[in-house]
A and B are shown apart, each in its own frame.
Chain A
Amino acid sequence: MSVILTESVILPDFSRKEILRYAGCLNTSESIDALLDKCIERSRSCFAGKVCFGVFDLKIIGNVCDLGGMKIESADLSKNLADCDKAVIFGATVGVGIDRLIMKYSRIAPSEAVMYQAIGAERIESLCDAFCRKIGEEYGGTLKPRFSPGYGDLPLAVQRDIFSLLDCKKIGLSLNESLLMSPTKSVTAFVGIHK
Chain B
Amino acid sequence: MDFFRFLKDNIVCLDGGMGTLLQSRGLKPGEHPEKWNITHPDIITEIHKSYYDAGSNVVSTNTFGANILKFSEEELDSIIKAAVSNARSAARCSVSQKEKFVALDIGPSGKLLKPLGDLDFEDAVSVFAKTVKLGVKYGVDLIIIETMNDSYETKAALLAAKENSELPVIVSNAYGEDGKLMTGADPMAMVALLEGMGADAIGANCSLGPKQLRGVALSLIENASVPVVLKPNAGLPKVVEGKTVFDITPDEFSDEVADLVKSGVRVMGGCCGTTPEYIKLLNEKTEGFTPVPLTDKNLTVVSSYSHAVKFGDSPILIGERINPTGKKRFKAALLENDMDYILNEGVNQQEKGVHVLDVNVGLPEIDEAEVLKKAVCELQTVTDLPLQIDTADAVAMEGALRRYNGKAMINSVNGKSESMDKVFPLVKKYGGLVVALTLDESGIPSTSEGRLAIARKILDRAAEYGISKKDIIFDPLALTVSADNKAASETADAVRRIKNELGCHTSLGVSNVSFGLPNRDAINSVFFAMCLNSGLSAAIMNPYSSEMMKTYYAFRALNGLDENCADYIAKADSFAVGVILPAPGGERSSEEYGSELKKAVIKGFKERASEITRDMLCNTDPLEIVNDEIIPALNTVGKGFEEKKVYLPQLLMSAEAAKCAFEEVKAFMAGGQKASNRGSFVLATVYGDIHDIGKNIVKLLLENYGFNVIDLGKDVPPTAIADKVLETKAPMVGLSALMTTTVPAMEETIKLLREKAPFCKIIVGGAVLTRDYAEKIGADGYAKDAMDGVRFAESVVGK
Contacts and interface: CB of A to CB of B under 8 A. Distances in A.
Interface in B342-363: 343-344, 347
B381 A103 contact: yes
B739 A180 contact: yes
A107 B237 CA distance: 41
Contacts of A61: none
A99 interface: yes
Interface string B660-693: 0000000000000000000000000000111111
Contact of A108 (B108, B243, B244, B382): B382
Contact of A3 (B115, B176, B242, B381): B242
A32 B646 CA distance: 10
Interface string B632-669: 00000000000010011111110110000000000000
B11 to A, nearest CB: 29
A166 B117 contact: no
B340 A108 contact: yes
B650 A29 contact: yes
B381 to A, nearest CB: 5
B580 interface: no
Contacts of A1: 28-29
A136 interface: no
A162 B739 CA distance: 20
A11 interface: no
Nearest to B652: A111
Top 8 closest pairs, chain A to chain B, by CB? A111-B652, A182-B117, A176-B118, A172-B182, A182-B112, A25-B647, A106-B693, A104-B382
Interface in A51-67: 54
Nearest to B699: A110
B118 A177 contact: yes
Contacts of A30: 585-586
B604 A111 contact: yes
Given A3-B243, A35-B653, A114-B648, A172 B118 contact: no
Interface residues of B, number: 59
B149 interface: yes
B741 interface: yes
Given A104-B381, A108-B344, A178-B118, A70 B28 contact: no
A62 B117 CA distance: 37
Contact of A110 (B347, B603, B652): B652
Contacts of A183: 112, 116
Interface of B: 28-30, 108, 110-112, 115-118, 149, 176-178, 182-184, 237-239, 242-244, 340, 343-344, 347, 378, 381-383, 585-586, 603-604, 644, 647-653, 655-656, 688-693, 696-697, 700, 739-742
A110 B340 contact: no
B29 A165 contact: yes
A48 B656 contact: no
27 contacts: A2-B29, A6-B237, A8-B177, A23-B647, A23-B649, A25-B647, A29-B650, A31-B604, A69-B28, A96-B184, A107-B340, A107-B343, A107-B696, A108-B347, A109-B652, A109-B656, A110-B696, A111-B652, A111-B653, A113-B693, A114-B649, A115-B649, A164-B30, A177-B118, A177-B688, A182-B118, A184-B691
B689 A178 contact: yes
Given A110-B652, A111-B655, 4 more contacts: A31-B585, A104-B382, A114-B697, A165-B30
Nearest to B785: A24
A106 B244 contact: no
Nearest to A118: B649
Given A24-B648, A30-B585, A166-B29, A108 B343 contact: yes
A178 B741 contact: yes
Given A24-B647, A48-B178, A107-B381, A179 B741 contact: yes
A174 interface: yes
Interface in A112-161: 113-115, 117, 156, 161
Contacts of B343: 107-108
> B182, B644, B650 — which one has the most chain A CB atoms within 10 A of its CB?
B182
Nearest to A36: B649
Given A108-B344, A178-B689, A114 B650 contact: no
Contacts of A104: 347, 381-383
A17 interface: no
A126 B689 CA distance: 26
A108 B177 CA distance: 31
A167 B29 contact: yes
A177 to B, nearest CB: 6
A70 B29 CA distance: 10
A172 B652 contact: no
A95 interface: yes
A142 to B, nearest CB: 22
Contacts of B382: 103-104, 107-108
A161 to B, nearest CB: 8
B347 A48 contact: no
A32 B381 contact: no
B111 A174 contact: yes
A32 B647 contact: yes
Contacts of A42: none
Contacts of B116: 96, 99-100, 103, 182-183
A180 to B, nearest CB: 6
Nearest to A183: B116
Nearest to B111: A174
Contacts of B115: 103
A102 interface: yes
A184 B689 CA distance: 12
Contacts of A100: 116, 184, 381
A178 B110 contact: no
Contacts of B244: 3-5
B741 A156 contact: yes
A169 B112 CA distance: 9
A48 B178 CA distance: 10
Nearest to B696: A106
A103 B30 CA distance: 33
A165 to B, nearest CB: 4
Given A8-B177, A48-B178, A182-B112, A176 B117 contact: yes
Nearest to A34: B585
Nearest to A161: B30
Interface string A75-98: 000000000000000000001110
A33 to B, nearest CB: 10
A5 B239 CA distance: 8
A174 B697 contact: no
B684 to A, nearest CB: 15
B650 A32 contact: yes
A110 B182 contact: no
Nearest to A169: B110
A174 B739 CA distance: 17
Contact of A35 (B149, B178, B649): B649
B239 to A, nearest CB: 6
A154 B656 CA distance: 41
Contacts of B740: 156
B739 A178 contact: yes
Nearest to B698: A110
Nearest to A4: B29
Given A24-B648, A109-B656, A111-B652, A95 B742 contact: no
A176 B243 CA distance: 31
Contacts of B655: 110-111
Nearest to A156: B741
Given A182-B116, A183-B116, A48 B689 contact: no
Contacts of B344: 108
Nearest to A45: B178
A153 to B, nearest CB: 14
Contacts of B347: 104, 108
Contacts of B649: 23, 25, 32, 35, 111, 114-115
Q: With a 10 A CB-CB cut-off, give which of A4, A23, A166, A172 has the most chain B CB atoms.
A: A172
B585 A113 contact: no
A75 to B, nearest CB: 19
B528 to A, nearest CB: 29
